Structure 1
Amino acid sequence: MNKVNEVTSIEQERQSRKEKLAGAFRLFSLFGFDEGNAGHITVKDPGFDDCFWVNPYNMHFSQIKVSDLVMVNHEGEVVDGNREVNKAGFTIHSQIHQARPDVVAAAHAHSVYGKSWSTLGRYLDPINQEACAFYNDHGLYSDYTGVVHQLDEGARIGKALGNNKACILQNHGLLTVGGSLEETVWWFVSMERSCQVQMLAESVGKPILIAEDHAKHTAAQVGSPEEAKRCFQPLWERIVNQQPDFLD
Structure 2
Amino acid sequence: MPVTSLRPNMDHWPERVDLAAAFRWTARLNMHEAVANHFSLAINDDGTKFLMNPNQMHFSRIRASDLIVVDANDPKTLEGPDAPDPTAWGLHGGLHRHCPHARCAMHVHSIHATVLASLADSRLPPIDQNCATFFNRVVIDENYGGLAFEDEGVRCAQLFNDPKQKVMVMGNHGVMVIGDTVAETFNRLYYFERAAETYIRALQTGRPLRVLPDEVAEKTAREIEEYPEQDLRHLNELKAILDEEGSTYAS
Common fold: TM-score over 0.5: yes
Instruction: Work out the CA distance in 2 between the residues paired with 1:58 and 1:64.
Output: 10
Question: Helix, strand or coil for the counterpart of 1:56?
Answer: coil
Distance in structure 2 (CA, Å) of the matches to 1:48 and 1:165: 18
**What amino acid is the match of 1:146?**
G
Match of residue 246, structure 1, among 233, 244, 249: 249
Q: For structure 1, which segment, 124-133 or 74-83, has the greater mean C-alpha deviation from structure 2 after superposition?
A: 74-83
Deviates further, 205-214 or 55-64: 205-214
Q: Which residue does 1:235 correspond to in 2?
A: 238
Deviation at 1:160, TM superposition (A): 2.0
Alpha-carbon distance in 2 for matches of 1:86, 1:127: 38
Q: Distance in 1 between matches of 2:238 and 2:70?
A: 27
Q: Going by fraction, where is helix more abundant, 1 or 2?
A: 1
**Could you say which residue in structure 1 is the equivalent of 2:200?**
199
Provide TM-score, normalisation by structure 1: 0.87
- What is the RMSD of the two structures over their aligned residues, measured on CA atoms? 2.2
Q: Distance in 2 between matches of 1:140 and 1:48?
A: 25
Whether the 8 Å contact between 1:14 and 1:46 is mirrored in structure 2 is no
Residue 165 of structure 1, CA deviation: 1.1
Cα deviation code 1:19-40 (max 9, x no counterpart): 1111111011001012232210
- Once the 2 structures are TM-superposed, how far is the Cα of residue 53 of structure 1 from its aligned partner? 0.6
Kept in 2, the 8 Å contact 1:38–1:110? The answer is: no
Deviation at 1:244?
A: 3.0
How far is the alpha carbon of 1:243 from its aligned partner? Answer: 4.8
Residue 5 of structure 2: aligned partner: none
SS in 1 for 2:212: coil
CA distance in 2, matches of 1:230, 1:224: 14
How high is the sequence identity, in percent, across the aligned residues?
24
Work out the CA distance in 1 between the residues paired with 2:242 and 2:79: 25
Aligned counterpart, 2:170: 169
2:137 maps to 137
Give the structure 2 partner of residue 71 of structure 1. 69
2:114 is the counterpart of 1:115: yes
Query: Does 1 or 2 have the higher relative contact order (CA < 8 Å, sep 6+)?
Result: 2
Describe the SS at the equivalent of 1:245.
Answer: coil
Tell me which moved more, 224-233 or 181-190: 224-233
- SS of aligned partner of 2:146: coil
Q: Is 1:35 matched up with 2:37?
A: no
Structure 1 residues 138, 224: closer, same or farther in 2, change over 3 A? farther
* Contact 1:72–1:80 (CA under 8 A) maintained in structure 2: no
The normalised TM-score by structure 2 is 0.87
Against the structure 1 CA distance between its residues 158 and 88, is the aligned structure 2 distance closer, same or farther, given a 3 Å change threshold?
A: same
Which residue does 2:215 correspond to in 1?
A: 213
Q: For the Cα contact (< 8 Å) 1:103–1:180, is it kept in 2?
A: no
Q: Which amino acid aligns with 1:187?
A: R
Alpha-carbon distance between aligned partners in 1 of 2:195 and 2:75, rounded to the nearest angstrom:
33
Where does structure 1 lack aligned partners over 5 or more consecutive residues? Answer: 1-10
1:124-176 alpha-carbon deviations (Å, 9 max, x no partner): 11111111221111100111122111x22212211223321111000111110
Alignment partners' CA distance in 2, 1:80 and 1:30: 31
* Residue 190 of structure 1: aligned partner: 191
Pairs within 5 Å for 1:74-113: 74=72, 75-78=74-77, 82-113=81-112
Matches of 1:243 and 1:211, distance apart in 2: 46
SS of 2:159 mapped into structure 1: helix
